[in-house]
A and B are shown apart, each in its own frame.
Chain A
Amino acid sequence: MGVAMTFPPPWRLAAYAYAVVLGCVTGYFLLGIPIQLTDSFANLLQVQGTPVSQVFVHELHGDGYLRPLLQVQLKIVYDLARGDYFDWYRGIQVLQVIAALLLAVHLLRIRTAGDAAVVPVCLAILLGIHTFTGTVREAFPINTFLTLVLCCLAAACLARSRGGRIVDASAALLLVFSLLTLETGLLVWVVFVAAHLLRYPGTSRRTVAACTAIVAVYLVLRFFVLHVGTPALTERPSGFGFGMLEPGELLARFGANPLPFYAYNVASAALGLLFAEPRGGVWAFGAVEPWHIINIVSSALTTILIGYYVAQRFVAWRREELTDHDRLVLLFLAVLPANALLCFAYTKEVIMSPAGVFYALAAFVAFRHLIASPHLWWSSSRGAAAAVLIAVVAAGWSVRLVGIHYLLRSTAGTVRTEWAFVDDWQARNRITIASPDRLQLKQTLYDDAIWRRPEPPRVALRWADRVFDTQ
């Protein structure tokens, strides 16, 4: 009795292959950036020479933040690297980007040529959207936001699976890992709950109950046992209206009643994702560059297309007729407000990166629906208008996709320059590096940045800074 081998449809394989190629392209540009000084060096100094258990325990007593596994991950990779910090940390980041793209393609369930045709623009949105920028431009040196994006995608993949005890256990572990890595780990729970309500097969009532219990334990630990709380109003500067407000100004304006400020942050986080404005809570004012227009037009049109899809399917949803594609859009609609709520304390674009990824998946569905809507193509004029609209949106996202790679190339130069001024940075931040281990770490990272890896050539296109978003 032979075992029948089933191969994925060729278009699905093509989509996976495309995701790997795109991931490698981004990886090439990422590998030009040395380990960062300002974001990473201080973190590495912190975990150096401290046992993993101690790192974990120390991070349990943060003020406003509870992220013990963030430092633990840095520590584990630091020990594994044995001096090859660049290869390990940057290599992990590249693998994470490729994994995120593959998981996204997995969720899209590619079957036909029409599905495959929309994959490039979907992945261009995933990588090119401004909320994703922080996951590749910064590092810490393992980018926790990128890790969280992976966790959310993995949660959706688990929800899409057939379920069972192994899936239940994996879901619980994934949630614990996410919650202890970053506050936005709560989104993994949101994904599981939403997936259960949407009748994804992998999330049983048992899964949701277990995950809810874990979240309850986490909240009790955070607020009543460890007294970590939430970030204070004076934690950092935050965007408001047309500019940034310093902590003192925030306190003066919202100290008595921070609710309006929190509401502004939540609303601007959601709007920023959907329409590319405001950015980090700040509305563009004054000189408008071409990249502003490209961002706003491509985001707004994509959001309108998603809205069109929702309007078209709403009646069917009320009858509880859900397709796989519907579920992806509804998952985005669940993650978006939850993610925006987590931005209440301060607005930072990268916090919205998980919602940005689900936005790309929802956009895939909306584009796919548009292409497969026969009534649009019956009329030549309507069909031509739809084709032009699609081409404009796709062109906008293509520019943003190239833009993120341009940004990575500029970042390579910026980081190298920062390392040239490492002594000034140390003096400014009053960091003393005296022990041989610390000196060794500094020298290795400095040599990597300045000496061992020559700076990749800088882009010499005068118009690039105006066309590509470098914020």
Chain B
Amino acid sequence: MTSAASEPHSRTSTRVEAASMMAMLAIASPVLLAIVLLLGFIASEAAGFRIGTFQEPATISDALALGEAGGAVAMIRAGHDPNQRSVVRTGLLDSRQPVRVTPLQAAVLARRPEFVALMLRNGARADQSQRLPCLVHAVGIAKDVPPGLIGVVDALHDDQVRAGGIEALERCGVQWE
């Protein structure tokens, strides 16, 4: 009699235990998965893989296009030429394919006037970059570039349709391949 009565109770208890275990899994597994992902990310970085991250920029122009002003300055300090045309990877600077531009052109195409000033302070020369004032107008940052900095004097008459990437380079007749 006692044994028969305790059987359903035991079944209920087992079910509760199983459900409780399921609850423990439900609460712990999402966070543990997140930790495994973070640890995997760290391990892959330590091993030199780039999963979900940008490849390290190889040129000053590429670094500027990525927004890495510090990296660009470090490259200049390491001996890279701040006036050299170099490759910027696809996808940056609104371009559908790699473009070869100078760091100043890259800064303009990235619409970062502060990068333009930074490059000029670090040895870049405006006269070494083709059609810089035209590019400044084409991408629509003429108002943000200090007058006279790179020969942009007509900032108020910026009535062109804004362009970016290869379209801006072609509009200004800049050689980019």
State whether A124 and B77 are in contact (beta carbons under 8 Å apart), knowing that A371-B27, A377-B23, A378-B16 are contacts in the complex: no
Bound complex: CA of A394 vs CA of B29, how far in Å?
A: 8
List, in ascending order, chain B residues with CB within 8 A of A449's CB. Answer: 70
B74 CB–A CB distance under 8 Å: yes
A103 CB–B CB distance under 8 Å: no
B47 CB–A CB distance under 8 Å: no
List, in ascending order, chain B residues with CB within 8 A of A413's CB. Answer: 67-68, 70
Bound complex: CA of A26 vs CA of B114, how far in Å?
A: 32
Complex contact B24–A455 (CB within 8 A): no
Complex contact B53–A459 (CB within 8 A): yes
Stretch at the interface among A132-140, A184-192, A398-406: A398-406
List, in ascending order, chain A residues with CB within 8 A of B29's CB. Answer: 391, 394
Complex contact A416–B32 (CB within 8 A): no
Instruction: Name which residue of chain A comes closest to B18, CB basis.
Output: A377
State whether A419 and B12 are in contact (beta carbons under 8 Å apart), knowing that A120-B32, A383-B19 are contacts in the complex: no
Bound complex: CA of A120 vs CA of B36, how far in Å?
A: 12
Complex contact B35–A387 (CB within 8 A): no
Stretch at the interface among A56-64, A110-118, A215-223: A110-118
Complex contact B118–A377 (CB within 8 A): no
A28 CB–B CB distance under 8 Å: yes
List, in ascending order, chain B residues with CB within 8 A of A424's CB. Answer: 114, 117
List, in ascending order, chain B residues with CB within 8 A of A371's CB. Answer: 20, 23-24, 27
Complex contact A450–B114 (CB within 8 A): no
Return A101 CB to nearest CB of chain B, in Å: 12
> What number of A-B contacts does a CB cutoff of 8 Å give?
142
A457 CB–B CB distance under 8 Å: yes
Bound complex: CA of A371 vs CA of B19, how far in Å?
A: 9
State whether A117 and B27 are in contact (beta carbons under 8 Å apart), knowing that A419-B70, A458-B53 are contacts in the complex: yes
Return A396 CB to nearest CB of chain B, in Å: 8
State whether A398 and B121 are in contact (beta carbons under 8 Å apart), knowing that A454-B74, A457-B53 are contacts in the complex: no
Complex contact A402–B37 (CB within 8 A): yes
Interface string of B8-21 (1 = CB under 8 A from A): 00001001100110
Interface string of B65-76 (1 = CB under 8 A from A): 011111111100
B38 CB–A CB distance under 8 Å: yes
Complex contact B12–A378 (CB within 8 A): yes
Complex contact B114–A113 (CB within 8 A): no
List, in ascending order, chain A residues with CB within 8 A of B54's CB. Answer: 457-460
List, in ascending order, chain B residues with CB within 8 A of A121's CB. Answer: 27-28, 30-31
For the complex, count residues of A whose C-beta is within 8 A of B: 55
List, in ascending order, chain B residues with CB within 8 A of A28's CB. Answer: 42
List, in ascending order, chain A residues with CB within 8 A of B37's CB. Answer: 402
List, in ascending order, chain A residues with CB within 8 A of B56's CB. Answer: 454, 457
Complex contact B38–A387 (CB within 8 A): no
Complex contact B68–A451 (CB within 8 A): no
A4 CB–B CB distance under 8 Å: no
Complex contact B42–A421 (CB within 8 A): no
State whether A387 and B34 are in contact (beta carbons under 8 Å apart), knowing that A416-B68, A451-B74 are contacts in the complex: no
Return A357 CB to nearest CB of chain B, in Å: 17
Complex contact A25–B35 (CB within 8 A): yes
Contact of A394 among B28, B50, B67, B118 (CB under 8 A): B28
Complex contact A456–B34 (CB within 8 A): no
Contact of A390 among B27, B33, B68, B72 (CB under 8 A): B27
Return B120 CB to nearest CB of chain A, in Å: 12
Bound complex: CA of A417 vs CA of B38, how far in Å?
A: 25
Complex contact A455–B70 (CB within 8 A): yes
List, in ascending order, chain A residues with CB within 8 A of B68's CB. Answer: 413, 416-417, 455, 458
Contact of B70 among A123, A393, A417 (CB under 8 A): A417
B39 CB–A CB distance under 8 Å: yes
A293 CB–B CB distance under 8 Å: no
Return A418 CB to nearest CB of chain B, in Å: 9
Bound complex: CA of A387 vs CA of B24, how far in Å?
A: 9
Bound complex: CA of A25 vs CA of B34, how far in Å?
A: 11
Complex contact B23–A402 (CB within 8 A): no
Return B17 CB to nearest CB of chain A, in Å: 8
- Interface core residue of B16, B30, B67, B117 (most chain A CB under 10 Å): B30
Interface string of A377-396 (1 = CB under 8 A from B): 11010010011101101110
Return A288 CB to nearest CB of chain B, in Å: 23
Instruction: Name which residue of chain A comes closest to B112, CB basis.
Output: A417
Instruction: Name which residue of chain B comes closest to A372, CB basis.
Output: B20
Complex contact B30–A117 (CB within 8 A): no
Bound complex: CA of A57 vs CA of B12, how far in Å?
A: 69
B167 CB–A CB distance under 8 Å: no
Contact of A124 among B12, B22, B31, B118 (CB under 8 A): B31
Which B residues form the contact surface with A (CB < 8 A)? 12, 15-16, 19-20, 22-35, 37-39, 42, 45, 50, 52-56, 66-74, 77, 114, 117-118, 121
Q: Apart from A113-B24, A377-B15, A455-B68, what 5 extra A-B contacts exist at CB < 8 Å? A: A120-B31, A120-B35, A383-B22, A386-B23, A460-B53
14 pairs from A and B in contact (CB 8 Å cutoff): A117-B28, A121-B28, A367-B27, A371-B24, A383-B22, A383-B23, A387-B26, A397-B30, A413-B67, A420-B70, A424-B114, A451-B77, A457-B50, A460-B53
Closest 5 CB pairs of A and B: A416-B70, A377-B19, A457-B53, A120-B31, A117-B24
